Amino acid sequence: MLLTGEAVGSFAFTESETGTDPSRIQTTAVKDKNEWIINGHKLFITNSTRALCD
Protein backbone atom coordinates (compact mmCIF):
# COMPACT_ATOMS: atom_id res chain seq x y z
CA MET A 1 0.00 0.00 0.00
CA LEU A 2 2.87 2.43 0.68
CA LEU A 3 4.33 1.82 -2.77
CA THR A 4 1.08 2.61 -4.53
CA GLY A 5 0.37 5.70 -2.41
CA GLU A 6 -2.78 4.18 -0.90
CA ALA A 7 -1.25 4.45 2.57
CA VAL A 8 1.05 6.99 4.21
CA GLY A 9 3.43 6.06 7.02
CA SER A 10 4.34 8.17 10.03
CA PHE A 11 7.60 8.40 11.98
CA ALA A 12 7.74 9.65 15.58
CA PHE A 13 11.08 9.45 17.35
CA THR A 14 11.84 13.00 18.59
CA GLU A 15 11.26 13.25 22.35
CA SER A 16 11.87 16.15 24.74
CA GLU A 17 14.36 14.23 26.90
CA THR A 18 16.16 12.33 24.13
CA GLY A 19 16.29 14.71 21.17
CA THR A 20 16.78 13.00 17.83
CA ASP A 21 18.68 9.94 19.11
CA PRO A 22 16.38 6.95 18.39
CA SER A 23 18.46 4.67 20.64
CA ARG A 24 17.25 6.70 23.66
CA ILE A 25 13.50 6.53 22.95
CA GLN A 26 11.50 6.25 26.18
CA THR A 27 7.98 5.88 24.74
CA THR A 28 6.48 2.41 25.16
CA ALA A 29 3.74 0.54 23.30
CA VAL A 30 2.05 -2.51 24.85
CA LYS A 31 -0.63 -4.57 23.12
CA ASP A 32 -3.71 -5.19 25.29
CA LYS A 33 -6.07 -7.59 23.52
CA ASN A 34 -7.07 -5.69 20.34
CA GLU A 35 -5.67 -2.29 21.38
CA TRP A 36 -2.28 -0.67 21.80
CA ILE A 37 -1.49 1.34 24.93
CA ILE A 38 1.11 3.98 24.10
CA ASN A 39 2.83 6.02 26.83
CA GLY A 40 5.27 8.81 26.08
CA HIS A 41 5.81 12.34 24.79
CA LYS A 42 6.68 13.26 21.21
CA LEU A 43 7.75 16.60 19.75
CA PHE A 44 7.63 16.11 15.99
CA ILE A 45 5.72 13.40 14.11
CA THR A 46 6.31 13.21 10.36
CA ASN A 47 3.06 12.84 8.36
CA SER A 48 0.98 12.54 11.55
CA THR A 49 -2.07 14.14 9.94
CA ARG A 50 -1.92 11.91 6.84
CA ALA A 51 -0.93 8.48 8.19
CA LEU A 52 -3.29 5.50 8.27
CA CYS A 53 -3.47 3.88 11.71
CA ASP A 54 -5.48 0.74 11.06
All residues at 6 or more sequence positions from 5 whose CB lies less than 8 Å from its CB, including other chains: none
Average pLDDT over residues 2-24: 79
**What torsion do the CA atoms of 26, 31, 35, 40 make, to the nearest 10 degrees?**
-10
Cα–Cα dist 27/54, whole Å: 20
pLDDT(13) > 90? no
Using one digit for the tens of pLDDT, what is the confidence trace for 14-40?
Answer: 888 888 788 888 989 999 999 999 998
The residues spanned by each domain of the chain are 1-54
47 DSSP assignment: T
Q: Model-level pTM greater than 0.85?
A: no
